[in-house]
Amino acid sequence: MSKQEKKTEIFLFPTDTVPGIGCFLSRVCVAKLRTIKKRPPDKPFPLLLSDEKEIRNWVEEVPPIYEKLKKYLPGGITLIFKGKKSLPEGVLSNEGKVGIRIPNHKELRDFIRKNKMPLISTSANISGEHTPKDLNEVALSADKIINGKVGSGNPSTVLDISNNSLILKRKGAISIMEIENTTGQEVKLGKNIDFNVLFVCTANLCRSPMAEIHLKHLTEDLNRVNIRSAGTHAMPIIDIYEHSKSVLEENNLNSKHISRLLTKPLIEWADLILVMENIHKKYITFLSPENKDKIAFFGTFKSNKKEHTITDPAGKDLEACRKTFELIKEANKRVEKYLKNKF
Distance CA 30, CA 36 (A): 10
Task: Give pLDDT, residue 307.
Answer: 86
Q: Can you give the pTM of this predicted structure?
A: 0.93
pLDDT band at 279 (very low <50, low <70, confident <90, very high): very high
Task: Give pLDDT, residue 6.
Answer: 55
Please state, as a whole number, how many other Cβ atoms lie within 10 Å of the Cβ of residue 181: 12
Domains along the sequence of the chain with CATH: 3-189 (3.90.870.10), 195-340 (3.40.50.2300)
pLDDT band at 167 (very low <50, low <70, confident <90, very high): very high
Residues 310-334: tens digit of each pLDDT: 999 999 999 999 999 999 999 999 9
Order of all β-strands in the sheet with 225-231:
225-231, 195-201, 272-275, 295-297
Distance CA 188, CA 179 (A): 11
Could you say which DSSP state residue 311 is in? -
Distance CA 236, CA 224 (A): 27
pLDDT band at 152 (very low <50, low <70, confident <90, very high): confident
Task: Give pLDDT, residue 2.
Answer: 41
Known catalytic residues are 201, 207, 312
Distance CA 299, CA 243 (A): 20
Distance CA 291, CA 177 (A): 10
Residues 87-120: tens digit of each pLDDT: 999 999 999 999 999 999 999 999 999 999 999 9
Task: Give pLDDT, residue 191.
Answer: 92
Question: In angstroms, what CA-CA distances link 207 with 96, 232, 243, 270, 326?
Answer: 48, 12, 11, 18, 11
On the question of pLDDT at 150 being above 80, the answer is: yes
- Looking at the chain, the whole-number percentage of residues with pLDDT higher than 90 is 84
pLDDT band at 40 (very low <50, low <70, confident <90, very high): confident
Task: Give pLDDT, residue 264.
Answer: 97
On the question of pLDDT at 5 being above 60, the answer is: no
Question: In angstroms, what CA-CA distances link 85 with 70, 97, 99, 183?
Answer: 24, 9, 14, 29
Task: Give pLDDT, residue 51.
Answer: 95
Task: Give pLDDT, residue 148.
Answer: 86
Distance CA 305, CA 100 (A): 40
Contact 307, 315 (CB under 8 A): no
> Average pLDDT over the chain, rounded to whole?
94
Task: Give pLDDT, residue 147.
Answer: 84
